[in-house]
Amino acid sequence: MKKIKYLILVLFGFCSCDSFLEVNPTGEIVNDKLFETAEGFEEALYGSYSFLAREPLYGQNLSYYIMDIAGQYFYNDWSSHWSRHLCTYDYKHMDLRPKLDTVWTTMYKGISYVNNILGNLSKKDSTTFRLYDLYKGEALGLRAFMHFELLRLYAESYLKAPNMRGIPYYEKYSYEVAPFETVKDAYEKVIRDFKEAERLLTKH
């Protein structure tokens, strides 16, 4: 046992302290390596699209499930089931809130992924990649689309209450909490991002 302990101490002795301190978190290594090449940006964009296709979003909730129940396509008489509260627009009921909160948080997670792509693109020159404008245009279009979906689902009608509280509009990859925009201001940012995306994408 003493020999094993001695061997471990010897092995650690050969390890440089500087090398140990230079070890980066796994996520940081992946992030840096991923965005070194055009293929990395393409992989990140594909990942953002596939993320939207998962069950919490368009793989279920925003295609045929929550949206169709809210639209009264499906209905049941189970008083204890969360869908009954959705059909009666009781959005704050404790049985329904987790479903709606999942859509909200998952969509913002998708927005953070796209903002990470845009943030890393901004560190590159537009001549670095042949399809630089395409990558940026797709990312901006995705960001605008996801915010638009959140607006139509969780905010007041633009026509009826443009100055009411809308949603936070995240324009950068950050851990900081973004303030809520008015419905009007949030839609203006959606339109701005869509127009810039269109401008960039028409080049290809």
> What CATH architecture is 23-201?
Alpha Horseshoe (1.25)
Q: Which residues contact 120 (CB under 8 A, 6 or more apart)?
A: 31, 35, 41
Identify the pLDDT of residue 115: 97
The stretch 65-82 carries a mean pLDDT of 76
Name the burial class of residue 114, with classes exposed (0-12), middle (13-18) and buried (19+) by CB atoms within 10 angstroms of its CB: buried
Residue 65 pLDDT level (bands cut at 50, 70, 90): confident
- Alpha-carbon Rg for the chain in angstroms: 23
- Confidence (pTM): 0.81
The stretch 80-103 carries a mean pLDDT of 86
Residue 25 pLDDT level (bands cut at 50, 70, 90): very low
